[in-house]
Structure 1
Amino acid sequence: MSKSDPNRVLRGLPIVVGSLGAVLLFVNRILTPELTNSQSRADALGVLLSALLILTGLLWQQVQAKIPDVVQLIGEEKFELVPELPDTVKTELAWASHLLLTNTVTRSLVVIYQGKVLLRRGILPPKSEVTPGAILKRVYEKVKPVYLVDVKAYPGRIEFDYLPENTQGIICQPIGKEGVMILGANAPRSYTKQDETWISGIADKLAVTLADNIKIVET
């Protein structure tokens, strides 16, 4: 399902105004029995301004950003935390996941630390086991995030079978050197640079909390 463009009317306004101005100039010209030099110059200027308005409107129509298609993710709403985690870690994970699910386009979230799934929240399938594939291994090795802007375009998407099968966008964000946060969106190309910065900041904060509790988290 596609979202309607809230600026559609605004984008078409220059075309409407420019066209209306051109029509009024034409009517005024044919109804004027005798033209003066000053009126001719004014008409020429009016035609130029009308043309510029129409051109501006056409350009706005061309450069408008395409609103991503939003899908209904296949899965069920879940909120799963490892029971033996200390309260500090549980609180931090609950807080971080809530922020990401309510302030970004994230609809599915999985947090892994030291090879163990600590959190699953959002729309998710029944499968909870995570087997790191090539993409996730690269995130661990490089300690740099990977953003799959349009999942269906990546053959490696099959490794994310613990996310909804119709997930549209995925960010794999490292949590220090020992963890990773996998976020799934319901629309392709939907994460902005601001979202990525926000996600990185939350991951850094989680890394500190988990590192402080590393002996408790170890399995």
Structure 2
Amino acid sequence: MYTRACLTGYATKSQRSEALGLCLAAFSAALPYLGRFLEGAGAAGRVPLPEGSRQVFVIPDDLSAAQKEDMAWATYVLLQNTNTTSVLIAVGDVLCIRGYWDPPADIPKNAMIEWFKSQMEQAGLVNLSSALYLPSISDTQLGKILPQGILSVLAQPIVSNADPSSGETKAEGVILLASNANYAYSEKDRVWIRAVANKFRRAQ
């Protein structure tokens, strides 16, 4: 009886520890998002949306429900908590496009994704190894991918963890943010955006 009681008590403590560990892990994963919400970042100083652009929200149909949720949540918090009007997340061949953009009119979803991929390649936004921040940009610097009226652009690469043997990293994707305000992204913004990008690293 004593042995059984001890084992039962041990199992209960183990279960509690496991539950606590899961809660802490979930809380740690959410810290970048929670921090921005608590600070109220982006709530003030929002800029008018670009004229002539239309709202776009495109996620590939063949993603899992969890992947769609991750993409939808990340694009939402980036739009809500930074001075951003247009956001694109590319992980490998998978793109999620949200916000105000100027793709060709009446284009089907699959064709729109391919159009954005082509424009990103032409603009040199594929395989970035370090962040590209253009705080004051002209309409022609990145080709046709940007909506009219965009004044700031941040391309934050999604970079793999360092290889244990070689120490090398590789580009796995990019988060592209655009704003119609000059100097839209502070150093603090860029640190937080980099933390969001790191959430999309592929498991090794």
Point out 4+ residue stretches in structure 1 off by more than 4 angstroms. 68-71
Distance in 2, matches of 1:78 and 1:134, equals: 20
- 2:195 is aligned with 1:206: no
Read off the aligned partner of 2:130 and give its amino acid letter: K
CA 134–126 in structure 1, closer or farther in 2 if over 3 Å, else same: closer
Read off the aligned partner of 2:192 and give its amino acid letter: W
Could you say what secondary structure the match of 1:105 adopts? Answer: coil
- 2:118 is aligned with 1:146: no
**1:87-106 matches, cutoff 5 A:** 87-106=65-84
Read off the aligned partner of 2:136 and give its amino acid letter: D
The count of residues paired between Structure 1 and Structure 2 equals: 136
* Aligned match of 1:187: 181
TM-score, structure 2 length as denominator?
0.60
RMSD, aligned CA: 2.3
* Aligned match of 1:47: none
| Identical pairs, percent | 29
Distance in 1, matches of 2:102 and 2:123, equals: 21
- Contact 2:57–2:96 (8 Å) recurs in 1: yes
**1:64-86 Cα shifts (integer Å, max 9, x gaps):** xxxx9945313111111011011
Could you say what secondary structure the match of 2:73 adopts? Answer: helix
* Aligned match of 2:25: none
Shift of 1:162: 2.4
> Rg: which structure is higher?
1
Could you say what secondary structure the match of 1:147 adopts? Answer: strand
* Aligned match of 2:20: none
**1:121-160 matches, cutoff 5 A:** 121-127=98-104, 128=112, 129=115, 130-131=117-118, 132-133=121-122, 135-137=124-126, 140-141=127-128, 143-152=129-138, 156-158=141-143
Higher helix share: 1
Distance in 2, matches of 1:95 and 1:70, equals: 22
Unpaired stretches in structure 1, ≥5 consecutive residues: 1-67, 215-219
Distance in 2, matches of 1:102 and 1:86, equals: 24
Read off the aligned partner of 2:133 and give its amino acid letter: Y
CA 133–202 in structure 1, closer or farther in 2 if over 3 Å, else same: same
Read off the aligned partner of 2:195 and give its amino acid letter: G
Distance in 1, matches of 2:87 and 2:49, equals: 16
Shift of 1:117: 4.6
CA 117–75 in structure 1, closer or farther in 2 if over 3 Å, else same: farther
Read off the aligned partner of 2:193 and give its amino acid letter: I
Distance in 1, matches of 2:173 and 2:90, equals: 5
